[in-house]
Structure 1
Amino acid sequence: MAEKHISTTALARQIGKESKELFILLTSGGWIVKVDNHWQLTEKGKFEGGIYVNHPKFGEYIAWPESIQHHPLLKLLPEAPLSATNLAHKWDIPARLVNLLLAEKGLIKRYVRGWQLADRGKMLGGQQHEAESGIPFVTWPETLLDEPEIIDALMQLLGDAPIAVQHPALDGHPVNNAMQRRVDNWLYLTRTIHARDYRLQWGLDYALADFYLPELALCVECWADQLGQEQNRAAVIGEELEKHQLYKKHKVAFIEFRDENIHQVDEILAREFLRRGVAIY
């Protein structure tokens, strides 16, 4: 009985990779080549079992024997090259923030749609690619994971780096805790104009907002756990109640972050922006 053959996309699903990454891997391995915007088998690809299949709806495509998933090429390079999605899984951040972080460090540049490799990114081994749709994207070698500059920026973004007296956030804003830094870094990476410790004044009433976003007329407050000290906790609760009363009295729009939802900064802020007519992504 002849062995079943599957498409490259189906093979990618079986080995837990994105199809575009598998196409890149097979190209670098010399199995396939793109000619006139169509994939063709090389002699190496034919030797490894690749064949052409004609589908009545999708036309001709390359297919592989199912056993190919155990080939040393696929075993030895299970993750390389790394896409933004791969990096997101490794760094535990949303994939859409990966490219913003790499752009902030000067490794890539935003295109009309997609991303283009910058000179700095080429030096670190980045490779430029183009999706079937024509949108450019970049992949990275695993050595990027060990770059001190990237590690430091990632720690900043996640709020894991020690709080310094000066310039603790990516944009230089002073912050009081990791929660504020995480929000500040998100606002900076998404190029959102924002102010820190912004004074709102209404006659004799005033309040200092942790962050103020003038384009949205929106305040963002971060209520971090104050080391479990009762006196600090009481002070924070008092400040929180006072701000709530002032914001309600003067009809100020605001959102809040606490310990339980700080890991949803990207999701919550992006959704709130969209509600107000601003698309971040």
Structure 2
Amino acid sequence: MGISTTILAKNNLLQPKQVFAILESQGLITKENDSWALTNKGSELGAVVSNGRYGQYIAWPDDFDLSQFSNNESKESADDNLLNSTAIGKHFGFSANKVNSILSELGWIKKGVKGWIATDQGLKHGAVNNKSYQSGVPFTKWPESILESPILKSTVSSFLGNSEDTNPEEKQVDDIGFREKFEAKHRTTDGHYVRSKAEMLIDNFLYMMEIPHAYERRLPIEEEVYSDFYIPTGKVYIEYWGYENEPRYLARKKAKQEIYAKYGFNLIELTEKEVQNLDDHLPRLLLDFGIQTY
């Protein structure tokens, strides 16, 4: 008959969820429709699907050695060169929680039901998704090169209250003089100074809707590009496109659109017509990214 996973956990002085996490990480079982299913690899090790008092369950050989997997996993974790949030925090002088907050703000990780999961952007920076075999809680690990990432270092510097230095060798998509040409002299309700009346209306709308936002936030990429607005909730960027008849402005617009598309960022684009009717347009556009305004 074999033994159930619950009995297997009891025999190894572990919680059942710990054992399920180990077996899943080794590819012996998989989750299907909120239930555990046996894989071919699990069957090869002698496990079978049996019928019990409460329905079907996976039965393991009486002499099944679970320690071979937990020991291997511990060894692999000890031997690899990947860094967890605790190690990254130690390098920068932050707590692991602060590191996860920074990585989340960059859009490199996102919160799961429990723990943290790498996003597509995080995976591009070398993130590896892991699960604790003891608790099953997901977490991410990173290559040592992440410590030298200009993007991460710049964000850490910002969190520490230091000014952000621009690397003169960076490709500056935004350096055609637009930000210098248009002075930020329009004061918004929340005290921001923005560069146009349209941006003032957008900022005031976000403030009145109690939506936390940043103005001219730099995108977390190697290129030097600044968004008009950034909403941390939903990781959404807002761009207002004006001056549609100016060739240099249109070139800047095209370059920025390509950047947003290249990195797959969440983007809301507004024209003058839409800005004049923000109550009709912006709530719907924000809702597409899970942000409610009412």
TM-score strictly above 0.5: no
TM-score, structure 1 length as denominator?
Answer: 0.37
Write 1 or 2 for the structure with the bigger share of strand: 1
TM-score, structure 2 normalization: 0.36
